[in-house]
Amino acid sequence: MMENLIWGYVYPNEAEIQWSILIVLYPYITGLVAGAFIASSLYHVFGKKEIKPVARFALLTALSFLLVATMPLLTHLGRPERGIEIMFTPHVTSAMSGFGYIYSFYLIVVVLEIWLSFREDIVKNALNSRGWKELLYSALALFSYDISEKALHDDEKLAKRLAIIGIPSAAFLHGYVGFIFGGIKANPWWSTPLMPLIFLMSAIVSGIALLILLYIIAMKLRKHAIDHKCLHSLAHYLWIFLILDVTLEMLEIISMKYESLEEIEIINRLLSDKIATTFYGVQLTMGIFIPFVLLLLVGMIKNRETLKMIMISISSVFVLIGVFAMRWNVVIGGQEISKSLSGTLTYVPVFFSKEGVLPAIVILTIPFIILIVVTYILPPWKDMEEEPERNPDK
Amino acid sequence: MNGREPLLLNGEKIMQPHLKRAFTLLALVIIAFIFVRSLVVPQSFGQYGWYRGDSVNEIKNFQVEYAGSAACGEENCHKTIYSVWAKDRHKTVNCETCHGPSEEHVGNVRIMPPPANDSRDYCGLCHFKRAARPANFPQIDPETHGENLKCTYCHNPHKPWFI
């Protein structure tokens, strides 16, 4: 059976593919965090008022996914209690050991940002409720109930500064994931300095797409009208970042093909055989081309809000699937070519196992559960449900 | 606290009290991390390199368990079987690979080493068919070869082609 999975000359220790679907999930989840945070900073830093309805919701989304970002790695490696040791004794020459610190720093920034933007609600809740609720919200308010205009103004100022720090940290958090792959010189499919940028752009794309979907779903569940201005603005940014993303991805492939270094033969085989469907079909056509056209049409069509909303939703779903395929093509594709550069291997996902599809699905479900809990404690609906349309003809 | 004017100090505004609390909490978390780290990281970490320095001595003091194949052939103990093994294909597989650690036995012949591992799976570690193995290396499909008998039923492990 194994013979069918191998073509050409491969080294013995490569026969089993070590980085499984969980390692595909890791950059995917980290990307969603970075993307959601950057979407929220469009409002917090760049003052894009039309994003306001989802700005705080985006922060909560970022937090929910950030809390599970390390989970695929820890599940893959086993012995999660040893994970902290990478922070206790980080090695200076290890890119991986920086992650613990970047992650923690980013977590602090996101938590502080959320705390500052929800503080007014927290204090009001603490003052207006009794029992365990009062205790919870008082603790969240750190037993300090000053919501005078001056205090809130100071909060806003600090929140803006934090968001300014947050953007480079989000970029760093995810660019670093790309760097880990881009820095592996033995693998021609990974080794490129463009990798951090490619990862970052696809992260932003997937984060915005997730935010759009969650926003639409939340509004449908709460039976509230969708703010189309906000939705279109998000779709617009999705479209712009989609262009940047595809430019970088194509640039890498084109320069690889044009240079035609010795690894080109195996890369061609990878692209035309091993990952042809997931690369051309899912990543490029479904994940980029179709959403690109749909979002372009959304920008051109006048009125017909329901149609546009459906088109935006389809684009977002396709983008999310496409970005997952992109992670798959990088992580799995890179391992399907042998270090000999003259043979290929095949990854066969299993369902029930520590490295299987089931734990991947479980891990991908957890952030949504966290999001439900967090939005229950800190409801962001107020800004989403403010009367969105001031001029009714729009 | 509600509505109180922020205190002035040398013309500079003092930080809002709730922010002060937040940053104190953050500082406490960082201090706690540093404190726990100082407790958990072993004293000798980094003494020679990126590992626990004491581990060098600990490993050095481990008891020797393996005597080496030469020790079996010396002193006329297992000379015959040694000379058969040393000339045949399994000469790269040391005595103790199958017969187990024998340092104690070499020191005192009354202490016997554990019985040799002659299970099918143990031979299979090298000889079950794997795609990653060179094609000319002797490999069998355990499903079809040998009717689930022990390998040593037919093969002599000291002289593998002697069936």
Q: Do B50 and A12 touch (CB under 8 A)?
A: no
B128 touches chain A (CB under 8 A): no
Mean residue pLDDT of chain A comes to: 89
Q: A141 in contact with B at a CB cutoff of 8 Å?
A: yes
pLDDT at residue A169, rounded to an integer:
85
Measured distance CA(A3)–CA(A12) in Å, rounded: 13
Average pLDDT over residues A365-388: 85
Instruction: Convert the pLDDT of each residue in A236-278 to its tens digit.
Output: 999 999 999 999 999 999 999 999 998 899 999 999 988 999 9
d(CA B54, CA A225): 66
Does the distance separating the beta carbons of A5 and B18 come in below 8 Å? Answer: no
Tens-digit pLDDT profile for residues A163-217: 888 888 888 888 888 998 998 888 999 999 999 999 999 999 999 999 999 999 9
Q: Is A115 on the interface with B (CB under 8 A)?
A: yes
In a shared domain, residues B88 and B148 = yes
CB contact under 8 A, A146 and B45: no
Rounded to a whole number, what is the distance in Å from the CA of A55 to chain B's nearest CA? 22
B133 touches chain A (CB under 8 A): yes
Q: What is the mean pLDDT of chain B?
A: 86
Q: Over 80: is that where the pLDDT of B6 sits?
A: no
The answer to whether residue B62 is domain-embedded is no
Is residue B10 over pLDDT 60? Answer: no
Q: Which positions 228-257 of A are in contact with B (Cβ < 8 Å)?
A: none
Residue among B3, B21, B133 minimizing CB distance to A144: B21
State yes or no: pLDDT of A392 exceeds 60: no
DSSP 8-class letter at A275: T
Residue with tokens 């463009």: A194
Using the predicted structure, report yes or no on whether residue A394 has a pLDDT greater than 50.
no
Residue A120's closest chain B neighbor by CA? B18
In contact, A347 and A5? CB cutoff 8 Å: no
Q: Which residue in chain A has the smallest CA separation from B129?
A: A2
Nearest to A145 among B2, B6, B45 (CB): B2
pLDDT at residue A390 in the model = 47
Q: Is A102 helix (H, G, I), strand (E, B) or coil?
A: helix
pLDDT one-digit tens code per residue, B135-149: 889 999 988 988 888
Nearest residue in chain A measured CA to CA from B19: A155
The domain total for chain B is 2
Confidence band (pLDDT; 50, 70, 90) for A2?
low
Residues 6+ apart with CB under 8 A from A295: A235, A236, A238, A239, A242, A311, A312, A315
Provide the token pair at A320: 């999310």
Model pLDDT for residues B19-56, shown as the tens digit of each residue? 889 999 999 999 999 999 999 999 999 899 889 999 99
Compare CB distances from A145 to B1, B19, B45 and report the shortest one's residue: B1
Q: What is the pLDDT of residue A3?
A: 63
Question: Which residues of chain B have a CB within 8 Å of the CB of A13?
Answer: 132
Tell me if chain B has a CB within 8 Å of the CB of A348: no
For residue A10, what pLDDT band results from cuts at 50, 70 and 90? Answer: confident
Residue A393 has pLDDT above 50, yes or no: no
Q: Pick A2-377's CATH classification: 3.40.50.300, 1.10.1740.10, 1.20.1630.10, 1.10.260.40.
A: 1.20.1630.10
Residue B2, in any domain of the structure: no
Q: For residue range A74-131, what is the model confidence (pLDDT) as tens digits?
A: 999 989 898 888 889 988 888 888 888 888 999 999 999 999 989 889 998 888 888 8
Q: Does B45 touch chain A (CB under 8 A)?
A: yes
When CB atoms are compared, the residue of B16, B132, B133 closest to A151 is B16
Q: Copy the structure tokens of residue B33.
A: 């991390």
Select from A14, A108, A146 the Cβ nearest to the Cβ of B16. A146
Identity at A152, one-letter amino acid code: L
Q: Which residue type occupies B40? A: V
B109 with B78, same domain: the answer is yes
Residues A239, A295: Cα–Cα separation, whole Å: 6
Asked whether residue B17 is domain-assigned, the answer is yes
Residue A38: pLDDT over 60: yes
Is residue B64 situated within a structural domain? no
Chain A: closest CA distance from residue B159 (Å): 27
A6, B131: Cβ pair inside 8 Å? yes
Give whole-number Cα distances, A297 to A145, A211, A281, A321, B150, in Å: 49, 20, 21, 21, 71
A153 touches chain B (CB under 8 A): no
Residue B84 and residue B44 in one domain? no
Cβ contacts from A onto B, under 8 A: 60
A151/B18 Cβ within 8 A: yes
Interchain proximity A115–B3, CB inside 8 Å: no
In B, which residues are within 8 Å of A147 by CB distance?
2
Q: Which of A2, A145, A147 sits opposite B131 (nearest CB)?
A: A2
Euclidean distance between CA atoms A294 and A110, whole angstroms:
32
Facing B18 at nearest CB: one of A14, A91, A142: A142
Residues B79 and B19 in one domain: no
The arithmetic mean of pLDDT across residues B73-99, rounded, is 89
> What's the Rg (C-alpha) of chain B?
33
Is there a single domain that holds both residue B28 and residue B91? no
Task: With H, G, I as helix, E, B as strand and everything else as coil, classify residue B45.
Answer: strand
- pLDDT-based confidence at A386, cuts 50/70/90? low
> Which pLDDT score is estimated for B14?
67
Say whether both B86 and B24 belong to one domain: no
pTM: 0.84
- The verdict on a CB contact (< 8 Å) between B21 and A142 is yes
Cα A337 to Cα A186, A253, A325, B22: the distances in Å are 11, 16, 17, 50
Whether residue A34 contacts residue A207, with contact meaning beta carbons closer than 8 Å, is answered with yes
Query: d(Cα A106, Cα A98) in Å, to the nearest integer?
Result: 12
Give the pLDDT of residue B3: 42
**What's the pLDDT score for residue B29?**
94
Which of A91, A146, A153, A340 should we substitute to test contact with B (largest number of B Cβ atoms within 10 Å)?
A146
Residue B7 in contact with partner chain A when CB distance is under 8 A:
no
> Is residue B163 a part of any domain in this protein?
no
pLDDT of residue B134: 82
Residues B89, B132 within the same domain: yes
Tell me whether residues A144 and B133 touch, CB distance under 8 A. Answer: no
Is residue B100 predicted with pLDDT exceeding 60?
Answer: yes
pLDDT at A1: 52
Nearest CA in chain A to B15: A154
Question: Which structural domain range is residue B131 located in?
Answer: 69-153
CA distance A239 to chain B (A): 38
Q: How confident is the model at residue A299 (pLDDT cuts 50, 70, 90)?
A: confident
* Closest by CA position to A54, among listed A211, A192, A251: A211
